[in-house]
Structure 1
Amino acid sequence: MYPLLFRTVLARMDPETAHHAAMIVIRMLGVPPFSWAARALTRPDPALGTRVLGLDFDSPFGLAAGFDKDVRAVAGLRALGFGHVEVGTVTAIPQEGNPRPRLFRLIPDRAVVNRMGFNNRGAEQAARRLRRIRRRANRPVIGVNIGKSRVVDVADAAGDYVRSARMLAPVADYLVVNVSSPNTPGLRGLQAVETLRPLLREVRDAAAATPLLVKIAPDLPDDEVEAVAGLAVDLGLAGLVATNTTISRAGLATDASVVEAAGAGGLSGAPLTRRSLEVLRLVRAVVPADFCVVSVGGVETGDDVRERLEAGADLVQGYTAFLYRGPLWARQINTALR
């Protein structure tokens, strides 16, 4: 049913418009009695429960940052079977993001190009919503992905991240420092170890007892991946998220003119599968067993998730395949894992 709906309706819609329409439905699914009915169909088998970061997850499979930027659909996403939801990216200062269009499908590759630019309503509003959600008994584990505000100079990035961390750490189950999006000028330069060390140290102190992770790009050379992983361990961070989107366009099946028309931005989806798995193995080889590694990038099936877990991931996230697989995607993966 969903593949037909995608081909005949959704694929003809502007991707961002389609996303907003889907969010309306997902938010409805978070409200009783719809949430009860959905949860009865999608609840992960208890055997999939896992404890990571001192937190209990219904399933090791969750939704990556980028889908729910403003903490608006967490309950509905839990009702669809996701074991955790990483919201954001959230910035200290509200921002509109880049001009539209800024989201493009590469359907032959089951991929997406985005240059959203951290569009969100800011850390203060996200913290208010998270505060309300935390009062509810039935909620998923909620991570918060934080990024640099566009109007803040890269030289002042640490203070900007600290401002977000202070507002969001008290209401997040874990925090992720995003220094790897290609859509904020200068951001990826913060991944250099000499720049990243003082930034992460300050954010770590601001996060206090809330587990802190850092998210890296797949485009880093292997030695830099290992260096960032080592830095995270050295600073006492709780973990690392590998990986963000890529700026590479190598090996795509989509017509070159379509790729060129999409323009700049981060590529996500199936083309990331191999590199994301490589980065996972690199990281796992240089960090302690109790260091949390979250694998994301090119994950589409239960077999993909199982492969990441067997390669050393503690948790696995996806996003792009949600657009192609439809609302029962998390249920399909949990069923396959069971």
Structure 2
Amino acid sequence: MKAQVAVEFLTAYGWALLAVIVAAVAAFYFLSATQSIPSECNFGNSFQCTSYQFIKNSDGTMKLTFQMTNSLGKRILLYNRKQIIQVQNIGKSGINNYTGVCVGSADIVQSGGDIVCMFNITDKQFTPSVGKISAFTVLLNYTNCDTSSVPSSCINGMNRSFQGKINSDLELAPTIVAPRCKDMKCDTGENYTNCPWDCPSPRPSSVQVSWTADCAHNFIAVNTGVYEINVTVRDQSTHTMSNVPVYIQPVDVGMPAGLLQEITYQITPPVPLTDANGLARANFSWSGCSCCIDSYFGTCSLVLFEISATAGDAIGYNHACGMLDQTSMSSLGCCSCC
């Protein structure tokens, strides 16, 4: 009798039980698949990740932000380098790259300094569900300032790249967000003194170079000389900037070039700082062959070179030598050198 009841039960409700079992198995695999990626922010021992967040804005765009510490043991430059994240089926279908920015409390991030990064995903065709964990590959590009030939600068430093990963679940952006430092927004009351991550200090935008050399007489008639170089640095608002290091060097640009290979020169100091008026001063001293001319298309022409000055990302130039015609050169008695 009991066996007959069991058979009748299975006959009546077997399909329902099977449907429940199939649904449970499907739900298990779905949840396992969506949460199989562990939530993490991993840059190894080079950059210690302290926080990270992946949010969906009210307009449907998305944003990945994270904070980390420079644990390289080196000074690095980040702000002027393109940072990249790579994701799959986020924003658009397929594998996509999005660029962002990383900043420190100063342009040069000291060892142990805090770094804030932000990447905006403006595409909206593919958006993961809220709570689902997405995987990001992060490519950090930076300049190793400790390899720079100029102390306290990153000029000529070696460029490096470092890859990390972030797995983060998508959150809805809160409707009301209280202003806070390191949120990549320069809010009211914040400035580059109390929150330089959000409100970067003014950066050099223009460099003006002048100096006292007179090529027609100094570089041809004599064998040595000392000339003053003056460099004025201004920001984007054309305000002069103080305490900015300026890297000064001569550059051959003549046709034919080669004057700098024929003389001995020195710039003192090689990296002067701008004063309260935004002016940096240095001396260019040289000695060597007095004939800085060469033959070009059968005429005597003065070899051309210029002084360049670099402050941050801004570069300025000033020509040191100009072209002289055959008559002028002959009057100086230099055409025999051609």
TM-score normalised to structure 1 length: 0.20
Q: Which has the higher helix share?
A: 1
Q: Which has the higher strand share?
A: 2
TM-score normalised to structure 2 length: 0.20
